[in-house]
Structure 1
Amino acid sequence: MARDRSSRPSRSDSRLDSPRGLRTTPSIFQSRDRFGRFTEAIARGMGTPWFLFGLSIFVILWMIYNTLAPEGIRFDSAAIGFTALTLILSLQASYAAPLILLAQNRQDDRDRVTIEQDRQRAERNLNDTEYLAREVVALRLAMKDLASKDFIRSELKSLLEELEEKKPGG
């Protein structure tokens, strides 16, 4: 008897070592996050001095080659304003701007989460501080009813003086 493959539970459904909500299944959110990390890496790389230095060297070498190389092996003419170089730089800029914006949006989302966590932490700290202040006040009120060290010393001194006065021969 052949078993129908469509009735077999999928690999993620057959895992019983984690709750249903925690089972890992590939989702569109994971691919978005992967793309987001990729855009951040590109934006981070484009914001470095090494990228600007490398791009400057690339442009300078391109211009030198296409100006000084023999006519037959040039691929971008200086006479028409380095059209291919201009197109390459325009293409790079047209992709760089949206990638940088995507990276900024992800950073804004992280900042929002951080701000919310900081607000919650500050609220908890305030509640803890208010609780501790109430406890200190309660202790102070309870301490008023207790005898202080100086009071006990003065009472003991007065008792000793009374005992010495009542002592025969004193």
Structure 2
Amino acid sequence: MELRSEHRGPRLDVPRESRRPLLRRRRELDKDRFGRFAENFARFMGTARFLLYMTLFVLVWLAWNWLAPGTLPFDAYPFIFLTLILSLQASYAAPLILLAQNRQEDRDRVIAEQDRQANTRAHADMEFLAREMASLRMALGEVATRDYVRSELRSLLGEIGELEERRDRDRESSEARRDDDGGDRR
């Protein structure tokens, strides 16, 4: 008898797919996009062009409110609206600059960690090479040098010369004996 499950519902041993990771990814992308915007804004605020634009804006504001008091002044009260605008700009600029600095610190931290890892690898490589050079020096200590080989060859040549002289002397003495033995027999 075969047992079969006729239940066709979701299986309990397989996790359900979730759509939440897509939403999380979207938030991370938006967060990264906002971070890039903050960095670009902070970079722009640190330029001479921004300072020139801000100076021109304030000068135009001051000139308009001083020179056109009765016609159409922007600021009905003497420069309170300008102070409010500059304060608002500063209140938005400060967090954006801090966000850009935090992102730069994160990048610097990652780069520093990569530098540490590269330095560790380079240090390990240098230690390996130092060990290899030491083993080569030890191996070269056992290898015959040119001067040692020359001295051995000279001593062998000297021994060969002595053996040839001895052989020549033995040959001469054996020939002399033959001559002496041959002359007695005649």
TM-score when scaled to structure 2?
A: 0.70
Pairing partner for 2:149 from 122, 141, 152: 152
List runs of 5+ in structure 1 lacking aligned partners.
1-12, 14-22
How many equivalent pairs are there?
A: 145
Pairing partner for 2:99 from 99, 102, 105: 102
What amino acid is aligned across from residue 31 of structure 1 in structure 2?
D
Deviation at 1:27? 2.5
Deviation at 1:69? 2.1
Pairing 1:44–2:34 present: no
| Alpha-carbon separation, structure 2, partners of 1:150 and 1:30 | 73
Pairing 1:139–2:136 present: yes
Q: Which has the higher helix share?
A: 2
The match for 1:76 is 75
Pairing partner for 2:84 from 68, 84, 87: 87
TM-score when scaled to structure 1?
A: 0.76
The match for 1:127 is 124
| Alpha-carbon separation, structure 2, partners of 1:124 and 1:54 | 49
| Alpha-carbon separation, structure 2, partners of 1:55 and 1:49 | 10
| Alpha-carbon separation, structure 2, partners of 1:29 and 1:75 | 41
Of structures 1 and 2, the one with the larger relative CO (CA 8 A, separation 6+) is 2
| Alpha-carbon separation, structure 1, partners of 2:124 and 2:35 | 37
Query: Can you list the C-alpha shifts for 1:56-78, whole angstroms capped at 9, x where unaligned?
Result: 1110111111111251222224x
What amino acid is aligned across from residue 134 of structure 2 in structure 1?
V
Deviation at 1:112? 0.9
The match for 1:28 is 27
Deviation at 1:26? 4.5
| Alpha-carbon separation, structure 1, partners of 2:49 and 2:26 | 36
List runs of 5+ in structure 2 lacking aligned partners.
1-16, 169-186
**Which runs of 4 or more aligned residues in structure 1 lie more than 6 Å from their structure 2 counterparts after TM superposition?**
none
Deviation at 1:141? 1.2
Structure 1 residues 157 and 81: alpha-carbon distance in aligned structure 2, compared to 1, 3 A threshold: farther
Once the two structures are overlaid, the 10-residue window that deviates more, 157-166 or 36-45, is: 157-166
What amino acid is aligned across from residue 120 of structure 1 in structure 2?
Q
What amino acid is aligned across from residue 153 of structure 1 in structure 2?
R
